[in-house]
Chains A and B, each alone.
Chain A
């Protein structure tokens, strides 16, 4: 991780010095432990604040739509796929983006760390796959591999699919993982149990829209939740309104989601919002054999059709 931080800083300074971009978007240390914050670096001094660690959970592709300047982005595998998706959806020109690719070994889930270490962590660092937690009167370690996020454990594209440079050598891709094993178990249950499951998932939702704001796909000028004439989504925290919001949010990501997990990372109530998007991601892969953001010449699956698309359910 230390090498990645150093290499990212060097790359960022070089990109700015060579005039390939007006600014570099990356991560800096957060104000609380186990978090990072997005960082916009325009000068050499600002580049020295860039970091890379196991907490770069947000998706920096989120800052690209409608930009007019040239941007370099520090991108892990999923970020790069979302940048490609922005190019596909014509939200930014390919010439405007310089991708500083970071082969990614997964990000960690703070909730899992909290399960292992209940005491308040005041600072954290990491070496050789161990995360060292320091708090008042204690220092302890957890194994990084044991607290990885679920989407990182089953990641299919750890290396950026498209990049202008890589800061370190590519990491081996995971072999033989079933991305949807848990979904298959869920779908084998009765419809009543599945309804219960999804209803209970969003029970604590406070409708803060953090999942929408963290998502690089959500760049509409007027979001459907803000529409008032007509108003399709109720604004209350009534279970039906909350469910409608989550279904529609996920549906808007159909065929576009890279399962980067930024939505879950942003959720203040720790709701597993990916369980909605993954249903669609799985179907898009199985029915239309499409994975988002692998090439800038892709055709998004909902903008095309084939005469023989599956339609068994239509009478």
Chain B
């Protein structure tokens, strides 16, 4: 069968261009753990939906609330931040400092009306490919359930 036969295009349309809402999720992964975990999930052929775009960080301690707000402002439907388990930081304690910042920001955004299910945090080591797959699926499902994001988004100005 030729590569672009009507049949294959139909399948493509059915599979990918369905009417179901496909969220865009910005994912921030620590280079030393979750990023490796994603890599291992890949070479292990573990399947998960392709809804997130991974951004590599040197450490979750590098995360700033600016990044999360920027993602939402530019129309991301969800944000997922993932790093090393407490105690396993490549830089000793970057994730422990980050944890306090995440706690405060997470609570603040939720209190200000961000829907639960949009902002996710996780600890995934580079050996936990199955946990990566599991969390990826849960994150994407939660964001899908929350629907397209309308809050904290900079909308295009409407002119007549």
Query: Are A and B part of the same complex?
Result: yes
Hey, which bits of chain A sit against chain B, CB under 8 A? 187, 191-199, 224, 232-234, 238, 240-241, 243-244, 247-248, 250-251, 254-255, 276, 279-280, 283-284, 287-288, 301-303, 305, 307, 309-311, 313-315
| Contact in complex: A250, B108 (CB < 8 Å) | yes
Which residues does chain B contribute within 8 Å of A279, judged by CB atoms? Answer: 107-108, 111-112
Q: How many A-B residue pairs have CB under 8 A?
A: 112
| Contact in complex: B114, A191 (CB < 8 Å) | yes
Contact of B86 among A192, A195, A311 (CB under 8 A): A311
Residue of B nearest to A309 (CB): B99
| Contact in complex: A307, B86 (CB < 8 Å) | yes
Determine whether B40 belongs to the interface, using a CB cutoff of 8 Å to chain A. no
Contact of B103 among A197, A238, A241, A287 (CB under 8 A): A287
A197 to B123, CA, bound (A): 33
Residue of B nearest to A243 (CB): B152
0/1 per residue, B128-160, Cβ < 8 Å to A?
000000010011000000000001111101000
Q: How many residues of B contact A (CB 8 A)?
A: 43
Determine whether B21 belongs to the interface, using a CB cutoff of 8 Å to chain A. no
Which parts of B100-124 form the interface with A (CB within 8 Å)?
A: 100-116, 120-123
Contact of A241 among B65, B93, B99, B154 (CB under 8 A): B154
Which residues does chain A contribute within 8 Å of B93, judged by CB atoms? Answer: 305
A208 to B76, CA, bound (A): 28
Which parts of B52-82 form the interface with A (CB within 8 Å)?
A: 64-67, 69-70, 73
Determine whether B96 belongs to the interface, using a CB cutoff of 8 Å to chain A. yes
Contact of B104 among A187, A251, A315 (CB under 8 A): A251
A255 to B101, CA, bound (A): 10
Residue of A nearest to B115 (CB): A191
A195 to B99, CA, bound (A): 25
Determine whether B97 belongs to the interface, using a CB cutoff of 8 Å to chain A. yes
Which residues does chain B contribute within 8 Å of A243, judged by CB atoms? Answer: 152
